[in-house]
Structure 1
Amino acid sequence: MDHPANTLSLVADIGGTNTRVALANGREVLDQTIRRYANTDFPGLESVLQRYIADEGNVNPCAACVAVAGPVRDGRATMTNLDWTINKDTLQRATQAETVAILNDLQAQGHALGYLDPANIRNILEGPEGQPHAAKLVVGVGTGFNAAPVYDLEHGRIVAPSECGHANLPIRNEMELRLCQYVSTAHGFPAVEDVLSGRGLERAYAFLGQEADDPRESAAKDIMAACADGSDPRAVDAARLFTRILGTVCGNLSLIQLPFGGVYLVGGVARAFAPHLAGFGFGEAFRDKGRFAGFMGNFAVHVIEDDYAALTGSAAHLKALLSA
Structure 2
Amino acid sequence: MKKIILAGDAGATNTELALFSIENDGLKVLFSEKYKSAEHVSLYEIINKFISDKKVNPSAACIGVPGPVFGGKIISTNIPWEIDETELGNKLGIPNMKIVNDLEAAAAAIPNMNPGSLEIIYAGNGKTNYGNKMVIAPGTGLGMAILIHNKDGYSVIPTEGGHSDYAPVTDIEIELLKFLKMKFGRVSPERVISGLGILNIYEFLLTKKEFGNSENYFEKSEFKDIAAKISEEALNSGNDICIKVMDIFISSLAALCSSKVLGVNASGGVYLCGGIPRKILKLLSDGKFTEAYLNKGRLKYYIEPVPVYVVRESSAGLKGAALIAGRFIKSGIE
Please confirm whether the aligned pair reaches a TM-score higher than 0.5, indicating the same fold.
yes
Q: 2:235, 2:282 within 8 Å by CA — same for their partners in 1?
A: no
Q: 2:235, 2:280 within 8 Å by CA — same for their partners in 1?
A: no
Per the alignment, residue 92 of structure 2 pairs with 95
Q: CA deviation at 1:29?
A: 5.2
Figure out how many residues of one structure are paired with residues of the other and give that number: 317
| Aligned pairs for 1:264-279 within 5 A | 264-279=271-286
Q: Quick one: which amino acid aligns to residue 54 of structure 1? A: S
Per the alignment, residue 46 of structure 2 pairs with 48
Q: 1:206, 1:216 within 8 Å by CA — same for their partners in 2?
A: no
Cα distance change on mapping 1:290 and 1:207 into 2, 3 Å: same
Cα distance change on mapping 1:155 and 1:228 into 2, 3 Å: closer
Please tell me whether residue 307 in structure 1 is matched to residue 303 in structure 2: no
CA–CA distance in structure 1, aligned partners of residues 64 and 330 of structure 2: 20
The worse-fitting range, judged by mean Cα deviation, of 297-306 and 179-188 is: 179-188
Please tell me whether residue 179 in structure 1 is matched to residue 176 in structure 2: yes
Per the alignment, residue 17 of structure 2 pairs with 21
Q: CA deviation at 1:93?
A: 2.2
Per the alignment, residue 220 of structure 2 pairs with none
Per the alignment, residue 84 of structure 1 pairs with 81
Per the alignment, residue 3 of structure 2 pairs with 7
Q: CA deviation at 1:152?
A: 3.7
| Aligned pairs for 1:21-40 within 5 A | 21-26=17-22, 28=27, 30=29, 33-40=31-38
CA–CA distance in structure 2, aligned partners of residues 120 and 10 of structure 1: 23
CA–CA distance in structure 1, aligned partners of residues 28 and 200 of structure 2: 37
| Aligned pairs for 1:247-286 within 5 A | 247-279=254-286, 281-286=288-293
Cα distance change on mapping 1:29 and 1:285 into 2, 3 Å: farther
CA–CA distance in structure 2, aligned partners of residues 280 and 152 of structure 1: 30
So what's the TM-score if we normalise by structure 1? 0.92
Q: CA deviation at 1:202?
A: 1.8
Q: Look up the SS of the partner of 1:312 in the other structure.
A: helix
Cα distance change on mapping 1:217 and 1:116 into 2, 3 Å: farther
Q: CA deviation at 1:167?
A: 1.4
4+ residue segments displaced more than 6 Å: none
**1:128-174 CA distances to partner (integer Å, 9 max, x unpaired)?**
43444x21111010001121111243356421121111111112233
Unaligned runs of 5+ in 1: none
Please tell me whether residue 217 in structure 1 is matched to residue 216 in structure 2: yes
Q: Quick one: which amino acid aligns to residue 4 of structure 2? A: L
Per the alignment, residue 198 of structure 2 pairs with 201
Please tell me whether residue 322 in structure 1 is matched to residue 329 in structure 2: yes
CA–CA distance in structure 2, aligned partners of residues 48 and 70 of structure 1: 19
Q: Quick one: which amino acid aligns to residue 235 of structure 1? A: C
Q: 1:63, 1:100 within 8 Å by CA — same for their partners in 2?
A: yes
Q: CA deviation at 1:237?
A: 1.3
Q: Percent identity?
A: 27
Q: 1:61, 1:95 within 8 Å by CA — same for their partners in 2?
A: no
Per the alignment, residue 101 of structure 2 pairs with 104
Q: CA deviation at 1:28?
A: 2.7
Q: Quick one: which amino acid aligns to residue 304 of structure 1? A: V
Q: 1:244, 1:281 within 8 Å by CA — same for their partners in 2?
A: yes
Q: 2:142, 2:194 within 8 Å by CA — same for their partners in 1?
A: yes
CA–CA distance in structure 1, aligned partners of residues 129 and 276 of structure 2: 29
CA–CA distance in structure 1, aligned partners of residues 177 and 215 of structure 2: 19
Cα distance change on mapping 1:83 and 1:101 into 2, 3 Å: same
Please tell me whether residue 289 in structure 1 is matched to residue 296 in structure 2: yes
CA–CA distance in structure 1, aligned partners of residues 293 and 317 of structure 2: 26
Q: 1:193, 1:200 within 8 Å by CA — same for their partners in 2?
A: yes
Unaligned runs of 5+ in 2: 218-225
CA–CA distance in structure 2, aligned partners of residues 116 and 17 of structure 1: 25
Q: CA deviation at 1:280?
A: 5.5
CA–CA distance in structure 2, aligned partners of residues 183 and 282 of structure 1: 23
Q: Quick one: which amino acid aligns to residue 125 of structure 1? A: Y
Q: 2:129, 2:269 within 8 Å by CA — same for their partners in 1?
A: no
